[in-house]
Amino acid sequence: MDRNKGLIQDATGEMISRMLTNQPCEKIDETLYEGQDRELAALANKLAGDLQELSAAALELSEGKFDGMQLARRNYLAAPIKNLQSQLSILAWNLKQLGLGKVVSKIDRPGELYEAYNNVVDRMVELSSGSSGNINDEARLANTSSWRYHQILLALNNIGAMVIETDARGKLVYANRAALTFLAGQTEFTVGSADEAEHSLQAYISYCTQQQNFPLYKELYDDDADRWYKISSDKFYLTGDQLFYVHLLDDITEWKLYEKELSTTAKLDALTEVYNVGAGTKQLRYAVRNSPLGQVHSLVFIDLDNLKRVNDTFGHAAGDEFIKAVADLLLTSVRNTDIVTRYGGDEFFIFFENCNYNDAQKRMDYIYLKLEEMNKAGDGRYKKDFSYGIYAFENMLDIDIDEMIKKADKKMYENKRKKKLKQHNGE
């Protein structure tokens, strides 16, 4: 093992020495080592690959090539180079447009290079606005608008929403600070399909260049980022018929999660976490309406026995525990397609979809068996019990859900009276 340790140290030392002198180096054969030595070899190989990739990218940047460089996302050393490539690419594009006499944006970035560029833009605006030489009113108005446009773009850096501007080819023209962080060096948006545009924010931005009717408003879930976005998109023309697309993007993920939580909370009973009467009845109507005509369903109405006695004897906390324990029992004993609802203080109903009377009775026998097991495992202060009635019905066009609930409730009271009579007779 000591010999192998020396070998891995020699191999990594040789690799690092060659990297530091900008010499080509071969990868270490990781299969020759085990354990921590193999991990060290893998790390050395990754470092060598990342540095070689960075060296190639730096060479391209030094030669003024900004568009061909592709750095892998796994290369964690690449962020500054990718950011520089993005900014220089935008700068080069803007300079080309400026040379053609078209409107360009100032770049709000620190550094002498960007300061010099912005000074050129300022000087061009001064020359075009009539402070030097003669210029007609139409040109002066166009360039004054251009200057206002620059100022607006700079102001957008101070908002939290993302602002992305592209030209007609999908080339990035402007991104405020929030958007630059999101784009992570991306400077082009390639046009994808309509389906891709429904699930990817970047695909949607590119897809907008194919649309005709603006403005566009959309809420989009980005599969890759696992985030929700609210998007406002529009197109506009500047002098020289330059066509641009601007997108205002708000990350609304937190609101969507909160909205979902509110929606779920509004549907559930606060104590038992089963459906409340409004949501449960609505779900029942929906399930019946969307089931085949002639299909048989069963509705079970449940009423807790002696809840008032438990409240009076042991307090309302014990009564609440009684209610919640039965609700938990019902929830854990039914299928995912069944609907459990707290109908009132001590009343519940269960909707068994596609279930005849005999099958519903078997399921209630099973639930009642679990109720007895719960009582055996309890503290013995009181017995948790309930009465129930089953009403089976065939789905029809004119079915009255409220009437079905009343019939199940009536069945329950019939059974409760029989149960009390048996208890009174000692059966």
Contact in structure between 232 and 247 (CB atoms under 8 Å): yes
Q: How far apart are CA 171 and CA 206, in angstroms?
A: 9
pLDDT band, residue 307 (cuts 50/70/90): very high
Burial class of residue 174, CB neighbours in 10 A (0-12, 13-18, 19+): buried
Q: What is the CATH number of domain 268-424?
A: 3.30.70.270
β-partners of residue 425 are none
At residue 60, does pLDDT exceed 60?
yes
Residue at token pair 């609440």:
320
Residue bearing the bigger pLDDT, 29 or 349: 349
Q: Looking at residues 338-342, what average pLDDT do you find? A: 94
Residue at token pair 């429904």:
198
pLDDT tens digits for range 6-24: 677 777 777 777 777 777 7
Q: How far apart are CA 336 and CA 164, in angstroms?
A: 44
H-helix or E-strand spanning residue 382: none
**pLDDT for the residue numbered 138:** 45
Residue at token pair 């009390």:
420
Picking from 345, 341, 340, 343, the residue whose alpha carbon sits closest to that of residue 316 is 345
Picking from 203, 198, 209, 197, the residue whose alpha carbon sits closest to that of residue 235 is 209
At residue 427, does pLDDT exceed 70?
no
pLDDT band, residue 77 (cuts 50/70/90): low
pLDDT tens digits for range 371-402: 999 999 888 889 999 999 999 999 988 889 99
Which range (215-224, 346-355, 411-420) has the least confidence?
215-224
**pLDDT for the residue numbered 330:** 95
Q: How far apart are CA 419 and CA 24, in angstroms?
A: 90
Contact in structure between 216 and 232 (CB atoms under 8 Å): yes
Q: How far apart are CA 198 and CA 190, in angstroms?
A: 15
Residue bearing the bigger pLDDT, 413 or 104: 413
Rounded to the nearest integer, the mean pLDDT of the chain is 81
Contacts 24+ apart (CB under 8 A), 318-321: 318/381, 318/382, 320/271
Which range (64-68, 137-141, 155-159, 314-318) has the least confidence?
137-141
Architecture (CATH level 2) of domain 79-253:
2-Layer Sandwich (3.30)
Residue bearing the bigger pLDDT, 308 or 14: 308
pLDDT tens digits for range 117-149: 777 777 765 554 444 444 444 444 444 455 566
**pLDDT for the residue numbered 132:** 44
**pLDDT for the residue numbered 136:** 45
Question: Distances in Å between the alpha carbon of 248 and those of 41, 160, 161, 178, 191?
Answer: 46, 10, 7, 11, 19
Contacts 24+ apart (CB under 8 A), 86-89: 86/172, 86/180, 86/183, 86/185, 86/186, 86/187, 87/114, 88/61, 89/187
Residue bearing the bigger pLDDT, 118 or 282: 282
Contact in structure between 139 and 128 (CB atoms under 8 Å): yes
Q: How far apart are CA 242 and CA 387, in angstroms?
A: 76
**pLDDT for the residue numbered 49:** 77
pLDDT tens digits for range 157-173: 667 788 898 888 888 88
Structure tokens of 344? Answer: 């009132």
**Segment of 111-120, 282-291, 307-316 carrying the highest mean pLDDT:** 307-316
H-helix or E-strand spanning residue 242: strand 242-251
pLDDT band, residue 37 (cuts 50/70/90): confident
pLDDT band, residue 100 (cuts 50/70/90): low
pLDDT band, residue 300 (cuts 50/70/90): very high
**pLDDT for the residue numbered 362:** 95
Q: Looking at residues 349-363, what average pLDDT do you find? A: 95
Q: How far apart are CA 388 and CA 405, in angstroms?
A: 12
